[in-house]
Amino acid sequence: MSMIIGIPKESLPGEARVAMSPDVAMKLGGKGFRLCLESGAGLEAGYHDDDYVAAGVEIVDRATALGSDLVVKVRKPTGEEVASMREGALYIGFLETCDEDDEILQAMFGKRIRPLAMERIPRISRAQSMDALSSQSNIAGYRAAIEAAARYGRFFPLMMTSAGSVKPARVVILGAGVAGLQAIATAKRLGAEVYAYDIRPETREQIESLGAKPIELDLGEEGSGEGGYARELSDEAKARQQQLLADELARAHVIITTALIPCRPAPVLVTESVVKRMREGSVIVDLAAANGGNCPLTEADEVVRRHGVILVGHTNYPSMMAGDASTFYANNIANLLAIMVEKQGDELVLKDLDEDEITHAALVKPTA
């Protein structure tokens, strides 16, 4: 008997991604999985039901997709979706919570549903192909640089013509994680003069390898945390950071901020006083908008002008590139399934999720 994977349509307004693309679905079908997709689930990502049918996927109603052995989604399920899942099912997707008492988690536990949170995939070499946070952040960094170039009313590259010449835009990227590094690479490809800053000293080499110039500040402490993430600085270091960064940021024509600390409000890096000093028409693209913003003037899911500066607060860049984002995410899911399931005869059997360090880290359990 096949293991059934259900793919419901994402219900969050504005979410265009789907958890499974036709090409990845075909590969999973070839490995013995049976896939059931809610009709229309892939339309906003550019995938039609016919594309899935050609890949061997069954098109079903919402109740059937949610009632499968294994439900895969992109965004956190709603209470209604959890109510439609069957007892003892497996769920894979982002859970978007740091609270173990979260009501959605508790509803899952009440039905003995075992959730694997994609954001909890550990950042180790073996798990790189399953790291959905990185795959989606990569897209976000690229799309943020494109957004900045589109909003900035001047050229990004040095431009020399018979009608005159202009200097390249000065772009500053704050945060050299996955999103920041992709933003650096994209801004460089667009011809900008790129500078980058990160509190983790080990990022200097990565910044330079992409052709950007690292901004170095002496804060009196390091910001390297666990798992490759930044840790929160002391109040004294935060104040010194803002003071030392101010002059660099005020000279920028474009700032792209990507600084996030897991389960904490985003650190303030671009103060209102800095915004007031920036040139009219400059752009700040704040990738931390959903967590309070790296600039206090940012408004989540809005584009506003403050003190003559354009602040972009989009909170879901991957959804703006839903086709590729969905394919990347589907590959992350497929690679995770490869270590979760083994074939015994003609049947697929779920392994003990606690035996592998990756699934053990991703599996969310009730607190004792």
Q: State the pLDDT at residue 86.
A: 96
C-alpha angle 247/285/291, rounded to 5°? 100
The active-site residue, picked from 47, 62, 91, 131, is: 131
**Cα–Cα distance measured from residue 51 to residue 57, given in angstroms and rounded to the nearest whole number:** 9
The active-site residue, picked from 2, 106, 128, 209, is: 128
Give the pLDDT confidence of 155-194 residue by residue, as tens digits. Answer: 999 999 889 889 999 999 999 999 999 999 999 999 999 9
pLDDT at 227 over 60: no
**Cα–Cα distance measured from residue 110 to residue 124, given in angstroms and rounded to the nearest whole number:** 32
Give the pLDDT confidence of 76-110 residue by residue, as tens digits. Answer: 999 999 999 999 999 999 999 888 789 999 999 99
200 as an active site residue: the answer is no
Q: State the pLDDT at residue 346.
A: 83
Q: State the pLDDT at residue 235.
A: 78
Pair 61, 39: CB distance under 8 Å: yes
What pTM was computed for the model?
0.92
206 as an active site residue: the answer is no
Q: State the pLDDT at residue 261.
A: 81
pLDDT at 230 over 60: no
Of 170-174, 250-254, 260-264, 288-292, where does mean pLDDT reach its minimum?
260-264
**Cα–Cα distance measured from residue 130 to residue 113, given in angstroms and rounded to the nearest whole number:** 21
The active-site residue, picked from 134, 135, 206, 241, is: 134
Q: State the pLDDT at residue 155.
A: 95
Q: Sheet of 58-60: strands edge to edge? A: 58-60, 34-38, 4-7, 70-72, 90-93, 114-117
Q: State the pLDDT at residue 264.
A: 86
Q: State the pLDDT at residue 277.
A: 96
DSSP string, 67-116: TSSEEE-SSPPPHHHHHHSPTT-EEEE------TT-HHHHHHHHTT-EEE
Averaged confidence pLDDT in the chain? 93
Q: State the pLDDT at residue 209.
A: 97
Confidence of residue 260 (pLDDT cuts 50, 70, 90): confident
C-alpha angle 197/178/99, rounded to 5°? 100
Q: State the pLDDT at residue 287.
A: 97
For the CA atoms of 8, 60, 22, 317, what is the dihedral angle to 10 degrees?
-20
Q: State the pLDDT at residue 293.
A: 96
Give the pLDDT confidence of 117-131 residue by residue, as tens digits. Answer: 999 999 999 999 999
Q: State the pLDDT at residue 232.
A: 67
Length of the chain: 368
For residue 92, list its beta bridge partners: 72, 116
Pair 75, 359: CB distance under 8 Å: no
Q: State the pLDDT at residue 100.
A: 79
Per DSSP, helices labelled H in the chain are: 22-30, 49-54, 62-66, 79-84, 103-110, 132-151, 178-189, 204-209, 235-250, 272-277, 317-320, 322-340, 357-362
Overall average pLDDT of the 247-266 stretch: 92
% of the chain residues with pLDDT over 70? 95
293: left (phi over 0), alpha (psi -120 to 50) or beta: left
**Cα–Cα distance measured from residue 196 to residue 209, given in angstroms and rounded to the nearest whole number:** 12
Overall average pLDDT of the 145-158 stretch: 96
pLDDT at 1 over 70: no
Give the pLDDT confidence of 317-363 residue by residue, as tens digits. Answer: 999 999 999 999 999 999 999 999 998 888 899 999 999 999 999 99
For residue 170, list its beta bridge partners: 193
Type of residue at 37: L
**Cα–Cα distance measured from residue 320 to residue 242, given in angstroms and rounded to the nearest whole number:** 31
Q: Per 3-state DSSP, what percentage of the chain is helix, strand, and coil (rounded to 5)? A: 40, 20, 40
The active-site residue, picked from 123, 170, 231, 277, is: 123
56: left (phi over 0), alpha (psi -120 to 50) or beta: left
Overall average pLDDT of the 15-41 stretch: 97
pLDDT at 243 over 90: no
H/E stretch holding 23 reads helix 22-30
Pair 211, 243: CB distance under 8 Å: no
Q: State the pLDDT at residue 244.
A: 85
Give whole-number Cα distances, 161 to 153, 170, 187, in Å.
18, 20, 21
The active-site residue, picked from 151, 154, 170, 229, is: 229
Q: Which domains does the chain have, with CATH numbers?
A: 4-120+321-362 (3.40.50.720), 140-319 (3.40.50.720)
Look at residues 309, 272, 319, 320 and name the one whose alpha carbon lies nearest to residue 293.
272
134 as an active site residue: the answer is yes
Q: Give the gyration radius of the chain's Cα atoms.
A: 22
Structure tokens of 147?
Answer: 């957004």
